[in-house]
Amino acid sequence: MTRVAVFPGSFDPMTNAHLDVARRASGLFDRLVIGVLNNPKKAPLFSIDERVELIGRSVADLGDHVSVDAFDGLTVNFARSHGAGFIVRGLRAVSDFEAELQMALTNRKLAPEIDTTFLMTALEYGYVSSSLTKEVARFGGDIAPMVPGPVAAALVERLGQDARV
Ligand code: PNS
């Protein structure tokens, strides 16, 4: 049986915490599709095409069974469109749990055949978030430990000279 999973998120931008979860999931599933939500309600720093491209470069060494795709609408519909039986989400701290439980139970109600699987982020990335990384970059802090190389370069380019890597 081929085990297919989707790893959905906003990824604005992908962090090392996301990459760590993608790497762990790539070892567990036959196919892993990283799904980048195109949310018209949010004004992201990076466009949907930029986010897909940055993730593609960041996960290039994980293997051909890992791909990246943009999606609109419900995660469960995205999962079904890829024939996925699993949704992957990362947990950094207990504080992530409540919202993730609510999402997992909502998704189970919508699609009982799809299970959400949680992977614990490596301890060293437990503090990393996309929003704080953008803030650090904006004020010139060192973001190199927080994001993959291609993302760090894109943040510096987008947020200006002040953002040192
Ligand atoms: O990276 P994020 O912002 O924590 O990811 C949240 C995401 C994209 C997984 C979540 O917002 C989502 O699944 N959105 C799609 C809409 C949807 O399916 N909503 C109902 C289930 S929560």
- Distance from the CA of 164 to the center of ligand 1, in angstroms? 31
Question: Which residue type occupies 153?
Answer: A
pLDDT of residue 164: 47
Residue 163 predicted with pLDDT over 50: no
Q: What's the average model confidence in pLDDT over 6-11? A: 98
Model pLDDT for residues 61-95, shown as the tens digit of each residue: 999 999 999 999 999 999 999 999 999 999 998 98
Question: Ligand 1, atom 5: nearest CA belongs to which residue?
Answer: 9
Residue 74 Cβ inside 6 Å of ligand 1? The answer reads yes
Residue 116 Cβ inside 6 Å of ligand 1? The answer reads no
Q: Is the peptide bond before 44 cis (omega within 30 degrees of 0)?
A: no
pLDDT category at 165 given cuts 50, 70, 90 is very low
**Could you tell me which residues are beta bridge partners of residue 33?**
6, 67
Residue 29 predicted with pLDDT over 60: yes
Q: Which atom of ligand 1 is nearest to the CA of 102?
A: 22
pLDDT of residue 9: 98
The DSSP code sequence of 16-71 is HHHHHHHHHHHTT-SEEEEEEE--TTS--SS-HHHHHHHHHHHTGGG-TTEEEEEE
Q: Which atom of ligand 1 is nearest to the CA of 103?
A: 22
Residue 35 predicted with pLDDT over 60: yes
pLDDT of residue 120: 96
The DSSP code sequence of 121-143 is PPGGGTT--HHHHHHHHHTT---
Tell me the catalytic residues: 18, 42, 92, 130
Measured between its terminal Cα atoms, the distance across the chain in Å is 44
CB atoms within 10 A of CB 95: 8
Residue 14, CB half-sphere, CA atoms under 13 Å: how many? 29
Residue 58 Cβ inside 6 Å of ligand 1? The answer reads no
Residue 67 Cβ inside 6 Å of ligand 1? The answer reads no
Instruction: Tell me the whole-structure pTM to 2 decimals.
Output: 0.96
CA distance linking residue 55 with residue 124, whole number of Å: 20
Q: What's the average model confidence in pLDDT over 8-29? A: 98
3-state SS assignment for residue 6 = strand
Q: Alpha carbon 85 to chain centroid distance? A: 18
Model pLDDT for residues 103-154, shown as the tens digit of each residue: 999 999 999 999 999 999 999 999 999 999 999 999 999 999 999 999 999 9
- Distance from the CA of 140 to the center of ligand 1, in angstroms? 30
Residue 15 Cβ inside 6 Å of ligand 1? The answer reads no
pLDDT of residue 161: 58
